[in-house]
Structure 1
Amino acid sequence: MPATDSVITLERLNESHLEGITALYHEPAFARQTLQMPFPSMELWRKRIDPDNERKVQLVAVHQGTVIGNISMEQYARVRRGHAGSFGMGVAVAWQGKGVGSKLLAAALDIADNWLNLRRIELTVYVDNEAAIGLYRKFGFETEGVLRDYGLRDGKWVDVLSMARLRSMPD
């Protein structure tokens, strides 16, 4: 069991994290709560690293050299949607409920608010992922609707909540 008082650092995803992030998504319990396919290749993650895209933020949470979580947030490229973005994230099962998700999400939202000037952040989350839904609500996300039969998980169609956080803009 991980020690909650251990130092967890956030780093921009880079080549040195490829083995760790690939291993993270190889955890069946982890992958089933995401829209990712299980057992991704390291090459897939290598292709996803996009250091030159200023609209995309990819962070990993690291504990003693091991990747224990990640978040990827991207501002939409379309001009009329440039005020918005979306993200996906995950935390290793052994580290869930220990503040890792909060740390990742706080960092991504700080960049969204103070660097990208995003007004709207969107996400989808499986309706039965109560821990993630609680985390998102803690950060001001509200449910906007249910998307039925959104994804296939364990051979069954699963609904997701569509959630968003709208940032108030100064008058």
Structure 2
Amino acid sequence: MHIRHSGPGDIDAVRAIYAQPSNYASTLQLPHPSRALWEKRLGGTDEHFHSLVACEGDEILGQIGIASHARPRRRHVANVGMAVSETARGCGVGRALLQAAIDLCEGWLAVHRIELEVYTDNAAAIALYEACGFVHEGTARGYAWRDGRFVDAHLMARLSGPLAPTG
């Protein structure tokens, strides 16, 4: 398996991963994502968005998006979101994608704080994030509408380097 930046030729494969029921249920994506939506997301025109994919040969197994903030007082912050193909779970794809995103953020983008939101019922993702140094910062009740009801999400973050006092 190798990790690389996504390109225009990856749009259909990435869209297909997010179209899997467990992936749109675990993210803020909607069922039946359009190609146009993914062309816009992965088109490479936003300098503050980076997309990495995990590949085995020519097959894309997962994708992670990294959105860094453009506003001056939040330039040190990025938000990540990812999905792994249902057929590739439990094989280290999510960990490899997350570690590559952390390395890009902390080593090259001068990101000090990486944030994410994860539904409270997604135990596998929560365990992965905790193992990679993310900590719970709170729970957003009624965070999103999913399958006819509101669901909660944990707000998690990873900080690099020493923390300055907040008081």
Is TM > 0.5 for Structure 1 vs Structure 2? yes
**Does 2:88 correspond to 1:88?**
no
**Match of residue 10 from structure 2:** 17
Partners of 2:114 and 2:158 within 8 A in 1: yes
> What CA deviation, in whole Å up to 9, does each residue of 1:58-83 have, x standing for no partner?
01112232221100001111100111
Coordinate RMSD, CA, aligned: 1.6
Q: Distance in 1 between matches of 2:14 and 2:124?
A: 21
Q: Distance in 2 between matches of 1:14 and 1:91?
A: 17
TM-score (norm: length of structure 2): 0.92
Partners of 1:55 and 1:116 within 8 A in 2: no
**Match of residue 137 from structure 2:** 144
TM-score (norm: length of structure 1): 0.90
Which of the residues 78, 93, 113 maps onto 1:120? 113
**Match of residue 60 from structure 1:** 53
**Does 2:66 correspond to 1:73?**
yes
Q: Distance in 2 between matches of 1:83 and 1:38?
A: 32
**Match of residue 4 from structure 1:** none
Q: Which moved more, 1:10-19 or 1:132-141?
A: 10-19
Q: Distance in 1 between matches of 2:74 and 2:160?
A: 15
SS at match of 2:141: strand
| Runs (5+) with no aligned partner, structure 1 | 1-7
**Does 2:153 correspond to 1:160?**
yes
**Does 2:26 correspond to 1:33?**
yes
Partners of 2:11 and 2:42 within 8 A in 1: no
Partners of 2:18 and 2:24 within 8 A in 1: yes
Identical positions, percent: 40
Deviation at 1:52, TM superposition (A): 4.5
Partners of 2:143 and 2:152 within 8 A in 1: yes
| Runs (5+) with no aligned partner, structure 2 | none
Report the number of matched residues.
164
Q: Runs of 4+ in structure 1 displaced over 3 angstroms?
A: none
> What CA deviation, in whole Å up to 9, does each residue of 1:146-168 have, x standing for no partner?
00000111111100000001111
Q: Distance in 2 between matches of 1:74 and 1:160?
A: 19
